[in-house]
Amino acid sequence: MRIVHVNGEYFPEDQARVSVFDRGFLFADAVYEVTSVLDGKLIDFPGHAARLARSLAELDMDMPVTEEEILSIHREMVTRNDITDGLVYLQVTRGAVDRDFLFPEDAQPTIVLFTQAKPGLADSPAARTGLKVVTLPDRRWGRRDIKTVQLLYPSMAKTEAKRQGADDAWLVEDGHVTEGTSNNAYIVRNGTIVTRQLGEEILHGITRRAVLAFAREAQMKVEERPFTVEEARSAEEAFVTSASAFVMPVVEIDGRPVGDGQPGPVARRLREIYLEESRKAAI
Ligand code: PLP
């Protein structure tokens, strides 16, 4: 049985409890982070801690504990749950108070962490075959740069993608791809990697930042700009990035193959570099 962290204490998962008045439950008034674990070590923890602090600040929520404490809780969770490869999920909510739309002045934030074991996380078969995506309208709210737990639309979109026989959806606004349901989206055209620029329309992926830095170091050309569905359909390659999928090739968009329908060399190379460098820097 897993061990779950709630507000400074560790519980067997069936004994971990949060109040029904928690604003995370009633208002999705909560932010989260997912950090990968490879070989028992955390991948890019400083990036996730920095984004957590930013998400909280954007919502006028306090950091419940210091970054050092968050790191030590993560490590404790990895040890107590015996995670070699997997994920650590962290959620901070504004806390439990009587239901009211106004932000409370005096709420104590709730902090919850749990783990998911994913043996062979870095060696998933999907990385060899690539993903199929369909495009769907982006109907999320306007502050997608804040990593909130309002994940209903992304869940609907992923479920619809599965219904259509695909693995995931790329979300589209004004004819341009914003991102995937839980990942950042990229295409390769004329040898240049194209991905949407940072803004309020997308989540500022921690993997995105690292992958773009590695791409530039490897002298690959990168353009950060919106791209259209048409550009994606006629791209040489496509791929997504996220903390749990790393770099994952996309081989089909809306039922049509991307390039030759196989994972492309840019995505494969970036995956290799990302995994190698991240493992080296893991803590
Ligand atoms: N975009 C969205 C909407 C996401 O939910 C995620 C991850 O959950 C990402 C992008 C990728 O971000 P990261 O690389 O930090 O996992």
At 117-156, the pLDDT tens digits run 999 999 999 999 999 999 999 999 999 999 999 999 999 9
247/196 same-domain check: yes
* Mean pLDDT taken over the chain: 97
Which residue, 48, 16, 15, is CA-closest to 34?
Answer: 48
- Domain check: are 193 and 77 in the same one? no
Domain co-membership, 93 together with 216: no
> Distance of alpha carbon 283 from its chain centroid, rounded?
19
Task: Tell me the torsion sign for CA atoms 221, 265, 197, 146.
Answer: negative
The CATH number given to whatever domain includes residue 161 is 3.20.10.10
Of 93, 92, 80, 90, the C-alpha closest to 12 is: 80
Alpha-carbon torsion 75, 80, 82, 83, what sign?
negative
Strand partners, 10: 5
What are the backbone angles phi and psi of residue 81, rounded to the nearest 5°?
A: -100, 5
- Average pLDDT for 51-71: 95
Domain match, 140 and 232 both: yes
pLDDT tens-digit series, residues 21-47: 999 999 999 999 999 999 999 999 999
Pocket test for ligand 1, best of 242, 248, 250, 274 (most atoms within 8 A of CB): 242
Query: Is residue 245 within 8 Å of 43, Cβ to Cβ?
Result: no
Residue of 51, 72, 75 whose CA lies nearest to 63: 51
HEC per residue, 143-165: CCCCCECCCHHHHHHHHHHHHCC
Name residues whose C-beta falls within 8 Å of residue 136's C-beta, 6 or more positions apart in sequence. 157, 160, 161, 169, 170, 171, 172
Task: Name the nearest CA neighbour of 55 among 162, 147, 122.
Answer: 147
The range of the structural domain enclosing residue 180 comes to 126-281
Same domain flag for 97 and 217: no
Number of domains in the chain: 2
**105 alpha carbon to ligand 1 midpoint, in Å?**
30
Residue 81 neighbours by CB distance under 10 Å: 21
> Domain boundary residue among 119, 153, 176?
119
Q: What are phi and psi of 71, to 5 degrees?
A: -65, -45
Q: What is the CATH number of the domain that holds 33?
A: 3.30.470.10
Q: Which of 147, 158, 162, 221 is catalytic?
A: 147
Token duo for residue 164: 């259509």
Beta bridge pairs of residue 88: 35, 115
Nearest CA to ligand 1 atom 3: 182
Residues 141 and 273 in one domain: yes
Domain boundary among 119, 149, 173: 119
Judge if 153 and 261 occupy the same domain. Answer: yes
pLDDT at 96: 97
At 245, the pLDDT band (50, 70, 90 cuts) reads very high
5 C-alpha vs ligand 1 centroid, how far in Å? 23
- Is 203 near ligand 1, meaning CB less than 6 Å away? yes
Domain closes at, from 119, 144, 177: 119
Question: Is 156 found in the same domain as 113?
Answer: no
CA of 197 to the centre of ligand 1 (A): 14
- Residues 220-232 have pLDDT tens digits of 999 999 999 999 9
Question: How does DSSP classify residue 28?
Answer: -
219 and 108 part of one domain: no
Q: Is 147 known to be catalytic? A: yes
